[in-house]
Amino acid sequence: MAVGAKREVVAADTAIQLKSELRKRARWGEGVVEFFLFFCGAVSILTTVGIVFTLGEEAWLFFQLDEVTLTDFFFTTQWQPAIGKFGVWALLNATLMVTLIAMLVALPLGLAAAVFLSEYASPWLRSVLKPVLEVLAGIPTVVYGYFALTFMTPSLRLLFGDNTVQIFNVASAGIVVGILILPLVSSMSEDALSAVPDALRQAAYGLGATKLETAIKVVLPAAVSGIAAAFIIAISRALGETMVVAIAAGAGPNFTFNPFESAETMTGHIVRISGGDLSYNSIDYNSLFAIGLLLFLLTLGLNIISRYVVNYFREEYE
């Protein structure tokens, strides 16, 4: 009995000693890192709140004016606030046209590049081509703007005729915006394709599928959530592009569905008007915030849709 009691005492002392050794120790370095991360997150959130508050406050002043109505803002097509024309569709339509053309360029090319890098390229070739492709994302957008004006527009005029294609036009701006967001689409799509387990590929090969059939019928459906998120984020990027459309698309609101005519997008209009001498609380000044708020809501809606699409199509593999 005495030996057994002694063993129990020794075991209890050992457990107490191990518990004290395993107890969380205060490390000032981890506390500093944790505070820094919290500070960065708080700054990001407060910055977003500040932007929304500023846009909302100034846009509210715009819609409080007697001559401005929501009906005119959303259901008319002439935008000239100085003379009482508040149809935002003149700007919104051009923005959507540029985005649509950009998507027609970027989505198929970006997805094709992603499939090649993920399924066909060797590791060495992928390590070379992917950084080269992503170099496009580092080129200043003003360079893209002048590329659209000095190369893409003359090419379109040579192809379709000078009388058909205006010097400033939506088509050239949309094509170049598509080239601009191409690295975003290809990189995110390639990451989604590479995340698909290799066991699915091997199973398809074992059933006799070719590499193309495996890529199209197995890998792409398995990565559809990531690819869809890449597409939606690219659309948001195209909606918010500024310098390319400000330089190449045109400098005047024009409600048209002809991509070869000049038209001003929302971001291009903000750049042009804010570059002049605007007095505070004037109708032109407040109208910029109304346009900015609408653009923010469009981007926010796309981001919400992106999260829904990712969660809906997400597949988890063990």
Are the CB atoms for 94 and 77 separated by under 8 Å?
no
Where does the pLDDT of residue 58 fall: very low under 50, low under 70, confident under 90, or very high at 90 and above?
A: confident
Average pLDDT (150-175) is: 91
Which span out of 153-157, 191-195, 213-217, 306-310 was modeled with the highest average pLDDT? Answer: 153-157
Bridge partners of 85, per DSSP, are 80
User: Helix 28-63 to helix 283-313 angle, to the nearest 10 degrees?
Assistant: 130
Where does the pLDDT of residue 43 fall: very low under 50, low under 70, confident under 90, or very high at 90 and above?
A: very high
Residue 135: predicted pLDDT: 81
Give percent of the chain above pLDDT 70.
88
Residue 93: predicted pLDDT: 92
Which span out of 2-6, 123-127, 273-277 was modeled with the highest average pLDDT? Answer: 123-127
Average pLDDT (36-40) is: 91
Give percent of the chain above pLDDT 90.
22
Where does the pLDDT of residue 211 fall: very low under 50, low under 70, confident under 90, or very high at 90 and above?
A: confident
Give every CB contact of residue 13 below 8 A, 6+ residues apart in sequence.
Answer: none
Q: Is the pLDDT of residue 203 over 80?
A: yes
Q: Is the pLDDT of residue 103 over 90?
A: yes
How large is the greatest C-alpha to C-alpha distance in the chain, in angstroms?
109
Nearest CA-CA partner of 96 in 220, 257, 253: 257
Distance (Å) of CA 59 to CA 45, 75, 143, 169, 285: 21, 18, 32, 29, 10
Average pLDDT (156-184) is: 91
Residue 241: predicted pLDDT: 87
List the Cα angle 242/243/249 in 5-degree steps. Answer: 85
Mean pLDDT of the chain, nearest integer: 84
Q: What is the C-alpha separation between 274 and 263, in angstroms, rounded?
A: 18
Nearest CA-CA partner of 106 in 192, 174, 193, 190: 174
Q: What is the C-alpha separation between 297 and 92, in angstroms, rounded?
A: 13
Are the CB atoms for 181 and 234 separated by under 8 Å?
yes
More confident residue, 64 or 21: 64
Residue 318: predicted pLDDT: 57
Are the CB atoms for 313 and 196 separated by under 8 Å?
no
The two three-digit tokens of residue 33, written as one number: 């890192």
More confident residue, 29 or 151: 151
Q: What is the C-alpha separation between 250 and 144, in angstroms, rounded?
A: 15
Give every CB contact of residue 131 below 8 A, 6+ residues apart in sequence.
Answer: none
Average pLDDT (165-190) is: 91
| String of DSSP letters for 211-273 | HHHHIIIIIHHHTHHHHHHHHHHHHHHHHH--HHHHHHT-SS------TTS----HHHHHHHH
More confident residue, 318 or 83: 83
Residue 178: predicted pLDDT: 93
Distance (Å) of CA 278 to CA 55, 206, 272, 284, 286: 17, 68, 11, 7, 10
Q: Is the pLDDT of residue 6 over 80?
A: no
Where does the pLDDT of residue 170 fall: very low under 50, low under 70, confident under 90, or very high at 90 and above?
A: very high
For the whole model, what pTM was predicted? 0.83
Burial annotation 95-114 (CB, 10 A radius, 16+ → b, else e): bbbbbbbbbebbbeebbebb
In whole angstroms, what separates CA 168 from the centre of its chain?
25
Q: Lowest-confidence range among 1-5, 74-78, 288-292? A: 1-5
